[in-house]
Amino acid sequence: MDTLRILASAGLLIACGGDDGTNAGGAEEAQPQQSTQTAPAAGSSNNKVATVAAGSAATQPRSGGDVTDPSAVRAGSGGAGSAAPPAAGSGGDALPPTLAAGAGAAGADAPSGATADDADPSPGCSGGTLKAGESMQMLQSGGMSRVYVQHIPDKYDGKTPMPVVLDLHGGSYDGPRWVDVSGFKKLGDTEGFITLFPSGTDNSWGATEQMSADGQFLKDLLAEIGKTGCIDKKRIYSTGCSMGGAMSFWMGCFASDTIAAIAPMCGTPFFVLDMCKPTRPLPVMLTIGETDNLNCWEGMPAGIGNPCAMTVFDYLKGVDMCTGDPKDTHDGVCHTYDACAAGSEVTVCKSNTGHGVYTATNIEVTNESWKFLKRFHL
């Protein structure tokens, strides 16, 4: 794991976007770059939010290390190695009916966007200031000014609690340049959930240790959105690719009192698996590319030192107290433990891609991940 920590701290982890096991544009690594985080203004207090003007210094990509022009990997760009997400609402086999965590009814989907009888409205449901639309924001956390993009669907009315999805960028990216990569933004518009695109420190994520400034930032961000917006505190999820996938594991393992389920992609935990001890069974859907050259499916750890997908799958079986053998799901693309404590499930999928999984043709990664996530709540 020493090699992994060095790579993670230096930002030498590839961004997602290419479908051939390399970085979008063909680069293998993102170079260490200058921090995009800015010191708080004199007299500022933690957790104060400010709108960031487009093109301000706090939102600019770091110099010298961009893997490619981000437009080349955004949805619908059509560029080489583009990571155009699958269209929202298109087909694909769903998982077999199981009990949603705490739902109490076989195969029942957790409500998406509409008020649920068991929703836990946040304080922002009474007099919150959040409005529909997309904007860059800045939040004071840990003595630093942190940048994120919030995308609020048009159907948001400020009164009906909405689910929230954290969509965490890959290495060398930031939140503003990740907005159109995964397809969750567009899916949130149709399904009715808020999507947040935060920027990690130095365009990477501190996901190797339990004490993490980035982890605290994400917790602070969710608390702030709960104050200003009307969200369902029982339905907060995390997803992301590469380093963003690793950070989603961090959120699931170390913020399980807040995160209902996770759908990490193109990345497994950067911390020792034994450190993952969530306070409750944790629903997980992990997707790794078949020819991913930074991650492995089974056997010895990958070149950067993180555990293989099947090692994580087996470990989470124990965490979620699953019984029986895994079942083939999604036409055999995925394997699922569906007899787990509290109705939880653990799924691992092998997309027919390299490192970037959003271009898969054997599974609609974004749609199927959301179908999985929305079935679980705290």
Per-domain residue ranges for the chain?
Answer: 2-36+65-373
Give the CA distances from residue 16 to residues 26, 169, 244, 291, 298, in Å, rounded to whole numbers and listed in that order: 11, 8, 9, 14, 21
Report pTM. 0.76
What single-letter DSSP state applies at residue 38? B
Identity of residue 17 = G
**What DSSP string describes 91-139?**
--PPPPP-B-TTT-SBTPPPPSSSPPTT--B-GGGTT----SEEEEEEE
Residues in the chain, pLDDT under 50: 1-15, 17-48, 52-115
**Cβ proximity of 245 and 355 under 8 Å:** no
What's the number of CA atoms in the CB half-sphere (13 Å) around residue 76? 5
Please tell me the predicted confidence (pLDDT) of residue 141: 97
Q: Which helix (H) or strand (E) holds 166?
A: strand 162-168
Confirm if 334 and 290 have CB atoms less than 8 A apart. no
CB atoms within 10 A of CB 368: 25
**Beta strand pairing status for 231-241 and 327-329?**
unpaired
Provide the greatest CA pair distance for the chain.
58
49: tokens are: 């939010």
Give residue 63's pLDDT: 30
Q: What angle do CA 43, 135, 144 make, to 5 degrees?
A: 30
How far are the Cα atoms of 54, 192, 231, 236 from residue 157, in angstroms, in the given order? 25, 11, 11, 18
pLDDT of residue 50: 54
The end-to-end CA distance of the chain, in Å, is 32
Q: Which CATH number fits domain 2-36+65-373: 2.40.180.10, 3.60.140.10, 3.40.50.1820, 3.30.70.100?
A: 3.40.50.1820
pLDDT of 222-264, one tens digit each? 999 999 999 999 999 999 999 999 999 999 999 999 999 999 9
- CA–CA dist 75, 56 (Å, integer): 24
Q: Is 203 helix (H, G, I), strand (E, B) or coil?
A: helix
pLDDT of residue 203: 92
- Write out the DSSP string of 279-308: SS---EEEEEETT-SSS-SSSS--TT-PPP
Tokens of 264: 């990490």
Contact in structure between 333 and 363 (CB atoms under 8 Å) = yes
Judged by phi (left if over 0) then psi (alpha if -120 to 50, else beta), residue 284 lies in beta
- The four Cα atoms 60, 64, 65, 71 give a dihedral, to 10 degrees, of 50
Cα separation of 10 and 12, whole Å?
5
**C-alpha separations of 184 from 73, 86, 167, 325 in Å:** 14, 10, 7, 31
Please name the helix (run of DSSP H) or strand (run of DSSP E) that holds residue 188, with its range, or none: helix 184-191
